[in-house]
């Protein structure tokens, strides 16, 4: 998120350092979420008291939130495209859509969690509950950070005006956003859908 004063450093591979660093971070985060998902898979039947997964998941709601996040990813590529084409309106509008999508997704998560708590599934109700909340909570926190990041970009765009186009930075922010979406793609199947099948 540095300003236009950042001079382009020549790199050995030709890839921008920040982009390279984001892919490296993504590799690391694969292991973070991989551990959380593994932990969930190991613990998903560990219920002594409280609702089980089959009893409590709302697939309709989760499909909607999955769809929203997916659409925000589409908006993200379009925002990057707008930035590359130096189309200010396109860039700002689609970035706004990304933020909106992220906030709606988080809203669905908050709704889901509140609903679950009312149905008797708290953080410490069972090991299944703890594993579920830890996984989806961590993912939600990542979405939240992403929303903050996109918001900062949008605000910077309004402060700097029509000369501010930094496709390198937007691309890196986009990689982060898409990765958070990709993790949810896995979670949707492996956590929610599989519950009713295996």
Q: Within 62-81, which residues bind another protein (CB under 8 A)?
A: 63, 66-67, 70-71, 73-74, 76-78, 81
Q: How far is the CB of 92 from another protein (least distance, A)?
A: 11
Q: In the structure encoding, which two tokens stand for residue 21, read together?
A: 């660093």
Q: Does 124 bind another protein (CB under 8 A)?
A: yes
Measuring CA to CA, how many Å separate 137 from each of 78, 97, 134, 173, 184? 28, 23, 5, 21, 12
What whole-number distance in Å separates Cα of residue 163 and Cα of residue 83? 11
Q: How far is the CB of 50 from another protein (least distance, A)?
A: 10
- 2-61 binders of another protein (CB under 8 A): 2-3, 5-6, 11-15, 17, 20-21, 23-32, 34-39, 41-43, 45-48, 59-60
Q: Does 141 bind another protein (CB under 8 A)?
A: no
Residue closer to another protein (CB basis): 57 or 106: 57
Q: Is 7 left (phi over 0), alpha (psi -120 to 50) or beta?
A: beta
- 82-111 binders of another protein (CB under 8 A): 85, 90, 93-94, 97
Q: How many CB atoms lie within 10 A of CB 129?
A: 25
Q: Which stretch binds another protein (CB under 8 A): 104-112, 113-121, 124-132, 160-168?
A: 124-132
Which of 106, 126, 104, 137 has the alpha carbon at shortest distance from 56?
126
């Amino acid at each position: 998120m540095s300003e236009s004063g950042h001079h382009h450093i020549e790199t050995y591979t030709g890839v921008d350092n920040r982009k390279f660093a984001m892919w490296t971070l993504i590799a690391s985060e694969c292991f973070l979420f991989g551990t959380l998902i593994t932990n969930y898979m190991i613990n998903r039947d560990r219920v002594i008291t409280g609702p089980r997964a089959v009893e409590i998941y709302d697939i309709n709601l989760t499909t909607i939130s999955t769809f929203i996040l997916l659409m925000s990813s589409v908006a993200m590529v379009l925002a990057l495209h707008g930035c590359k084409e130096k189309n200010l309106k396109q860039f700002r509008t689609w970035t706004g859509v990304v933020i909106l999508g992220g906030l709606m997704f988080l809203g669905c998560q908050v709704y889901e969690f509140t609903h679950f708590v009312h149905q008797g599934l708290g953080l410490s109700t069972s090991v299944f509950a703890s594993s579920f909340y830890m996984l989806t909570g961590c993912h939600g926190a990542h979405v939240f950070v992403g929303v903050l990041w996109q918001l900062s970009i949008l605000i910077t765009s309004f402060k700097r005006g029509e000369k501010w186009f930094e496709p390198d930075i937007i691309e890196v922010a986009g990689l982060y956003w898409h990765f958070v979406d990709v993790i949810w793609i896995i979670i949707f199947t492996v956590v929610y859908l599989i519950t009713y099948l295996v």
